[in-house]
Amino acid sequence: MANQTLSSAVMGTYNRFPVTLVKGKGSYVWDEEDTKYLDYSSGIATCNLGHVPNAVEEAMNQQLGDLWHCSNLFHIPSQEELAKQLTDNSCGDQVFFCNSGAEANEAAIKLARKYGQDVQQKEQSQIITFTNSFHGRTMATLSATGQEKIQQGFSPLTPGFDYLPFNDDEALNQLEELSPTAVMLELVQGEGGVIPANQQWVERLASICQNQDILLMVDEIQTGMGRTGTLFAYQQYGIEPDVISLAKGLGSGFPIGAIIAKQDVANVFSAGAHGSTFGGNPLATTAGLATVRELTETPVVTESKKIASYLWQELESLKEESTIIQDVRGMGLLLGVELNQPAIDIVHKARNEHQLLIIVAGPNVLRILPPLTTTFDEAKQFISVMKQLLT
């Protein structure tokens, strides 16, 4: 029987803002009262092409009239084509499709364990992840996540994960002795506070992985799909991961996740080894395909770098004037502004007083996630709000 004392029939897993959004286009969203907001949260790094981007809308409208779902018992042309686009534009060779970020990392974890058994001949496979990381909310991915607050209350955790300190050079010396099957990391820790991995640390990690036959798995669920100024963040680090996890921006808001893997790794997923009913269905991969085409065949990602460097410069100079800003960091249009006060207060003020939507990454960090399609005028508007709130 329904609990009469609760005001919502939806479980209370989210702290929601007191706003109901009903429409979106480009960089803007509108609420029920028709108030217009500049959306620099992008559905948490998901609407990278802005809201309801024309190219994706058109492709989806066509697909909605043709076929929504047919299961992976049949060939799916848009799935094949999206996989081809993703492999043509990355160092990977084959793709597995699923429906979310956690599911993508689940697939990566299963793939690593199977590779450990089949190729490395290990009975038990350990996977190394890093402190402060975020890899998802399912049992395996919250166990992979290096944050106790995410794991609290859900023991027993899934075994098979060891955590090393992020960006810590000395910690890498332990890799040889730990002899893991795989290492999984975010190149910019998103939920953990917008913390980029150090270039030299990543290079050394990648070279240890290569020398010791450890799989290098990058969680690009937040950093991927153009967010950091290249299609994938790893491309700016000059490394070649064995496995790449994707979700968030892949479908412009339609739920879809994926892993891209190198051929020798992908090979261990033979028929029956893994699967998903919805994974890569015609509707989802139509959204993904239109999104990836837009990101790779138009200058949107290159153009976004200009906006990113403008925002970076402006935020850096705000930092000079401000007693509140402690640090400005990030990569491309995944920006973090660390404050010496609770970031959520600024988030509320930005929304209530300036109709600007931004979010937090941890208690003291503002997370700024403009659509890659944002204009200089919008970026200026954003900076003017930041100036009013932070100086």
Query: Which segments are annotated as binding site for pyridoxal 5'-phosphate?
Result: 101-102, 134, 219-222, 277
How many residues sit in the footprint of ligand PLP (CB under 6 A)? Answer: 15
Kindly tell me which of 101 and 146 has the beta carbon lying closer to ligand PLP.
101
Interface residue with ligand PLP among 86, 202, 247, 356 (CB under 6 A) is: 247
Shortest approach of ligand PLP to residue 41 CB, angstroms? 13
| Bind-site residues for N(2)-acetyl-L-ornithine | 137, 276
By the 8 A CB rule, do 108 and 213 touch?
no
Residues annotated within the binding site are 101-102, 134, 137, 219-222, 276-277
Residues from 178 through 197 that contact ligand PLP (CB under 6 A): 186, 190-191
**Footprint on residues 115-134 left by ligand PLP (CB under 6 A):** 134
Structure tokens at 271: 């028929």
Q: Compute the CA torsion angle 194, 186, 192, 306 (nearest 10 deg).
A: 10
Q: Give whole-number Cα distances, 277 to 99, 104, 281, in Å.
A: 10, 14, 8
Minimal distance, residue 295 CB to ligand PLP, in Å: 18
355 φψ region: left (φ > 0), alpha (ψ -120 to 50), beta (else)? left
Residue 315 · residue 328 · CB < 8 Å: yes
Report the site for ligand PLP in 210-229 (rule: CB under 6 A).
Answer: 219, 221-222
Instruction: Please name the amino acid found at residue 323.
Output: T
In the complex, what is the shortest distance from the CB of residue 48 to ligand PLP, in angstroms, rounded to a whole number?
Answer: 13
The radius of gyration computed from the CA coordinates of the chain, to the nearest angstrom, equals: 21
Q: Which of residues 250-309 bind ligand PLP (CB under 6 A)?
A: none
- Bridge partners (DSSP) of residue 252 are 254
When the beta carbons of 105 and 364 are compared against ligand PLP, the nearer one is 105
Considering beta carbons, is residue 59 or 150 the nearer one to ligand PLP? 150
The residue among 113 and 248 lying less far from ligand PLP, judged by its C-beta, is 248
What burial class does residue 272 get, using C-beta atoms within 10 Å of its C-beta: 0-12 exposed, 13-18 middle, 19+ buried? Answer: exposed
Query: Closest separation between CB of residue 282 and ligand PLP, Å?
Result: 20
Stretch 94-113 residues interacting with ligand PLP (CB under 6 A): 100-102, 105
Find the binder of ligand PLP among 51, 113, 135, 351 (CB under 6 A). 135
For the bound state, the minimum distance from the C-beta of residue 359 to ligand PLP, rounded and expressed in Å, comes to: 12
Beta bridge partners of 245: 219, 259
Name the residue nearer to ligand PLP (CB basis): 226 or 386. Answer: 226
Interactions with ligand PLP, residue window 341-370 (CB under 6 A):
none
- In the complex with ligand PLP, which residue's Cβ is closer, 77 or 165? 165
- Strands, sheet with 356-357, edge to edge from the N-terminal-most edge strand: 21-25, 28-31, 36-39, 356-357
Q: What's the angle, vertex CA 284, arms to CA 333 and CA 192, rounded to 5?
A: 35
Q: Which is nearer to ligand PLP, 160 or 253 (CB)?
A: 253
> Least separation, in Å, of the C-beta of 214 and ligand PLP?
20
Closer residue to ligand PLP (CB): 45 or 82:
45
Nearest-approach distance from CB 34 to ligand PLP, in angstroms: 30
Interface ranges with ligand PLP (CB under 6 A) = 100-102, 105, 134-136, 186, 190-191, 219, 221-222, 247-248
